[in-house]
Structure 1
Amino acid sequence: MYQKDFLAQVRTQLEVREDPAKLRQRVFETTSGIPLKNSYTPADVADLDVLRDLGAPGRYPFTRHVQATGYRGRLWTMRQYAGFATAEESNARYRYLLEQGTTGLSVAFDLPTQIGMDPDHPMAFGEVGKVGVSISSIHDMRTLFRGIPLDKVTTSMTINAPAAVLLALYLAVAEEQGVSWQQVGGTIQNDILKEYMARGTYIFPPRPSLRLITDIFAFCADQVPNWNTISISGYHIREAGCTAAQEIAFTLGDGIAYVQAALDAGLKLEAFAPRLSFFFNAHNQFFEEVAKFRAARRLWARIMKERFKTDDPKSQMLRFHTQTAGSTLTAQQPDNNIVRTTVQAMAAVCGGTQSLHTNSRDEALALPTEASARIALRTQQILAYESRVADVVDPFAGSYLIESLTDELEARARALLGRVDELGGMVSAIEKGFPQREIQNAAYAYQKAVEKGEQVVVGVNRFTLENEAQPELLRVDEALGATRRQQVAAVRANRDNGIVKQRLAELETAARGTENLMPRILAAVKAEATVGEVCDALRGVFGEYQEQLVL
């Protein structure tokens, strides 16, 4: 991009020499270990080819944005993640958020639902409704979306192992509302690979889990064309402690595995690839995060073009949702979390996210109160309407620092993906413990830095307060578990159990064969089979995954 003699002159005249004794810390670097210089010059982007590496917004390699107009045409979707206790209470929170200006719903499910267990399962005791809403049957799903037209609102559901079951329930309720599946829009997370490496809410082993995922791809390509069939999630990998470069690599590595699994199942790339979406974390190091989103977008476009040989722009685009970093929130001085969330949200917007959730200030202590959820939403609205950061597409393009970080993050992510390929792909890499070890090592290094005071956490290891007053918190009624067990018993007592038994037997038979399982799951949930019963039928065929200790 620059003449060699000009670069030599820049290096001579603009390089700053520092006295280490006068610096406030020994090392300046990003979470990925990329050294940060005093200042950046054209010499740091000497190899940048503007046409090849940046291009125009909305064009390959999509470094700058997936849409030519960025947010000038339409703002990102303000999709606040919410759900707790009962379907009735969560429905009230969703309607409140919609009244306050949120533009998309995002459902949090409780742990029993996430691992395919009904509220009356012995392992569910004490966990019902605690970290999300408890959903066990079509009755609950009807209540959850009562008064919310599913042809007008898009819904994201953070559900993985039983994603097919929750999608079936959602489609059944849309049908009851008179909404055509052609009109239904939204996303299921449906990303099981990151569960094995970072989060833990898995049910089945990897290979039958991939079958369920590709069955959803095929079913939705034919029946629910506006549904995003997977949200390939780096968020939880980052929450487990990985670096920005690792977040890119392992997220895109999972994406490669899903694409290959779908191709191996006989699907055409252009039938499912345009509905793939991604889910990233927005962390504290502002410039690295902006660069991370840009690097991920460019690397995915190149993977789809070079590895999977597609020139279809819609198949090359990396569209993603972002959530601010829950792992950075502190129980100490919770109002500080508003500031952290604002910085992280601005990084996501400057990096070109398609939708955004901003965490609430009290989430390190409990589920967010209504007031905290409103502040989190207002944070997005102030960024959108007052800061003007959404008025220019890719505002940091051309910054010597941002372009240098973008290039370096892409290079480091490529190197990690090369290691995954050497191990036989992401499924094999997970089975061998490679990403787990990388994440664990990064998390350990960060924790050591915090304990030594090298990494400052305001209000935790510096600038602390004594005798802090605790904010008002949302508490889930401990009697909820008993109530939900009674509700499930009532469903089982009042349905046609002969039909339920038949539908579950048909699902089990289909699981032993090769047919697409989505129609069988739909038939079962319409007959009022519960989430736990459907998952148990599949457990009987697929078995359950047992975690392997990785050291």
Structure 2
Amino acid sequence: MQSVNDEPIAEKLVRTTLSGASIKPLYTPADLPSFSPEAELGQPGQFPYTRGIHASMYRGRLWTMRQFAGFGRPRDTNARFRFLLDQGQTGLSTAFDLPTLMGLDSDDPRCCGEVGRLGVAVDTVDDMLALFDGIDLHQVSVSMTINAPAIVVMAFYLSAARQRGWDWKALRGTIQNDILKEFHAQNEFVFPPEPSVRLVVDLIEFCTPHVPLWNTVSISGYHIREAGSTAAQELAFTLADGHHYVRQCLARDLHVDAFAPRLSFFFNAHNDLFEEVAKYRAARALWAATMRDEFGAKTEAAWKLRFHAQTAGCALQAVQPEVNLVRVGYQALAAALGGCQSLHTNSMDETLALPSEHAVTLALRTQQVLAHETGVTNTVDPLGGSYFIESFTRQMKQDARAYFTEIADQGGMIAAVENGYFRRKISDAAFAYQLAIDAQEKLIVGVNAFQQANEEPISVMPFDESTEDDQLASLRTVKEQRSGDEVRRTLTQLKQTAETGNNVFAALLQASDARATVQECMDAMAEVYGRFRPAAAW
């Protein structure tokens, strides 16, 4: 393979963003015709929030350093949580294993070999109690990344908090609870789209008065981007999902200024630094305008788009894995320059295994160096006013609005999900990007350029093969000791509530207290809602 240092390859490089948008060699005032600094840019902490949702941004408070963690048994993840808190992490973020994400119990035959591998196994409220044992939930905010069974897991969390004596009104955190992006990209769905969204709204409706500091949805573009979308598609599809949730809440007569301040967002931080910064700035401005002008929100809290960022897992490479530290550092810089409220930095070894303590510590140190040594926090929106950034932010907004029109032309969100619109768009973008890599129009260090022979392997964390047997034994003990009659009674009540169309959250709390399992709750609701099977045309 010819070196990219040779002139012929340098000449063939295409000057576009990671997503394929053309980049001019120089940006001047001519690229911002009729630009209104007051209307398009504004001041930090003021509508349209292009420059950030807080006036002082990181001068007043740093972003939350929230490293994603979860593996094995609840006690294993609890130990990792404690380790990360000791290293200076300021928030917890929980990864669940595949069976839990799919609404299955560890003892389901389909889960053999998957228990605790990609995240922590949670079957009952007892697992939730063990997961956060000894951690002061009044002092630490908790994020839980789960979608189809999100309402069940949130009921487990609140049941566990009540048993531990925690005040629900003091609990801070986020549950992802964004089922629409599962239909677009990640495939961890159980029920059809409409009842799935109904459960999202059930959780919002219950938690808004009872757990007022909790973010009830983390509207997630991250997984859309991981599936291969462009930055503009990530922006547009994520905001469109948010619009649909708001409309469904309003249709239930929820007050927009009551629930909207607790809708949060989750975006990808990919390699193209300036494209990512423009995406975040455009997202804030678009969301604020829609919330104020279309949905009639009156409070600034309902206009502000707050977002968590995670560095791009799809950008990590199995070859020369130490180079991932460099990638992650630049991606984290984009998130900080773009004004994120919390951030996860990926570990260098995540393409090979679950992160080791060494690797996850380096990932956390990446954030700490960024926050405390680079000066990036010293001034608010340091890229604001750049001809390039402002031009790119404007283009991002235009591209997103064009996608909003396309979605409306499909018949709206549910129709677009069902006819495969989102999947087609994402698949086309992913294919175009791969073609650019194959043609060496886009270079990936170690993959199609700057390859290295005889790499030395790095140490990775081994998986404890006793995990599954231990989790099955724990679940068996819970089932033996609980009241079967009480479980059946609460599951019957859950099914009956679902049949009436009423909010199922209170019924799920009763089932949680009775030690019903994730799968038992999901199966009871599936008898009413059915199970979703995507069309073969997708």
Query: TM-score by structure 1 length?
Result: 0.95
2:220: which partner in 1? 233
Q: Report if aligned partners of 2:17, 2:275 keep a CA contact under 8 Å in 1.
A: yes
Give every structure 1 segment of 4 or more consecutive aligned residues whose post-TM-superposition deviation is greater than 6 Å.
20-23
1:38: which partner in 2? 25
2:96: which partner in 1? 109
1:428: which partner in 2? 415
1:395 offset after TM fit, Å? 0.7
- Do structure 1's residue 215 and structure 2's residue 202 form an aligned pair? yes
- Do structure 1's residue 53 and structure 2's residue 70 form an aligned pair? no
Aligned positions of 1:82-481 closer than 5 A: 82-481=69-468
1:54 offset after TM fit, Å? 0.8
Partner of 1:24, secondary structure, is helix
Q: Report if aligned partners of 2:18, 2:271 keep a CA contact under 8 Å in 1.
A: no
Question: Quick one: distance in 1 between partners of 2:484 and 2:108?
Answer: 19
Instruction: Provide, for residues 480-520 of structure 1, a one-character-per-residue CA deviation record: whole Å limited to 9, x for no partner.
Output: 22222222111101111111110111001101012211110
Question: Quick one: distance in 2 between partners of 1:426 and 1:447?
Answer: 28
Percent pairwise identity: 49
Question: Quick one: distance in 2 between partners of 1:190 and 1:549?
Answer: 26
Question: Quick one: distance in 2 between partners of 1:360 and 1:165?
Answer: 29
Aligned residue identity for 1:202: F
Instruction: Provide, for residues 390-424 of structure 1, a one-character-per-residue CA deviation record: whole Å limited to 9, x for no partner.
Output: 11111100001100110111111110111111112
Aligned positions of 1:513-524 closer than 5 A: 513-524=500-511
Question: Quick one: distance in 2 between partners of 1:531 and 1:376?
Answer: 32
Aligned residue identity for 1:41: T
- Structure 1 segments unaligned to the other structure (5+ residues): 1-19
Question: Quick one: distance in 2 between partners of 1:23 and 1:459?
Answer: 17
1:543: which partner in 2? 530
Aligned residue identity for 2:283: A
1:432 offset after TM fit, Å? 1.3
Question: Quick one: distance in 2 between partners of 1:373 and 1:474?
Answer: 11
**Cα distance change on mapping 1:32 and 1:305 into 2, 3 Å:** farther
Partner of 1:332, secondary structure, is coil
Query: Which piece of structure 1 moves more, 235-244 or 454-463?
Result: 454-463
Partner of 2:12, secondary structure, is coil
Question: Quick one: distance in 1 between partners of 2:13 and 2:451?
Answer: 24
Question: Quick one: distance in 2 between partners of 1:357 and 1:236?
Answer: 14
Question: Quick one: distance in 1 between partners of 2:501 and 2:495?
Answer: 11
Partner of 2:448, secondary structure, is coil
Q: Report if aligned partners of 1:129, 1:476 keep a CA contact under 8 Å in 2.
A: no
1:17: which partner in 2? none
- Structure 2 segments unaligned to the other structure (5+ residues): 1-6
Residue of structure 2 aligned with 1:75, choices 46, 57, 62: 62
- Do structure 1's residue 497 and structure 2's residue 497 form an aligned pair? no
1:355 offset after TM fit, Å? 0.2
Instruction: Provide, for residues 80-116 of structure 1, a one-character-per-residue CA deviation record: whole Å limited to 9, x for no partner.
Output: 0000011111000000000000000000000000011
Aligned residue identity for 1:47: S
Q: Report if aligned partners of 2:89, 2:364 keep a CA contact under 8 Å in 1.
A: yes
Query: Which piece of structure 1 moves more, 500-509 or 23-32?
Result: 23-32
Q: Report if aligned partners of 2:13, 2:441 keep a CA contact under 8 Å in 1.
A: no
Residue of structure 2 aligned with 1:66, choices 53, 60, 74: 53
Question: Quick one: distance in 2 between partners of 1:430 and 1:154?
Answer: 33
**Cα distance change on mapping 1:386 and 1:489 into 2, 3 Å:** same
Aligned residue identity for 1:312: T
Question: Quick one: distance in 2 between partners of 1:183 and 1:407?
Answer: 39
1:21 offset after TM fit, Å? 9.6
CA RMSD across the alignment: 1.4
1:550 offset after TM fit, Å? 4.1
Question: Quick one: distance in 2 between partners of 1:550 and 1:245?
Answer: 25
Q: Report if aligned partners of 1:119, 1:128 keep a CA contact under 8 Å in 2.
A: yes
Question: Quick one: distance in 2 between partners of 1:328 and 1:322?
Answer: 14
1:23 offset after TM fit, Å? 6.9
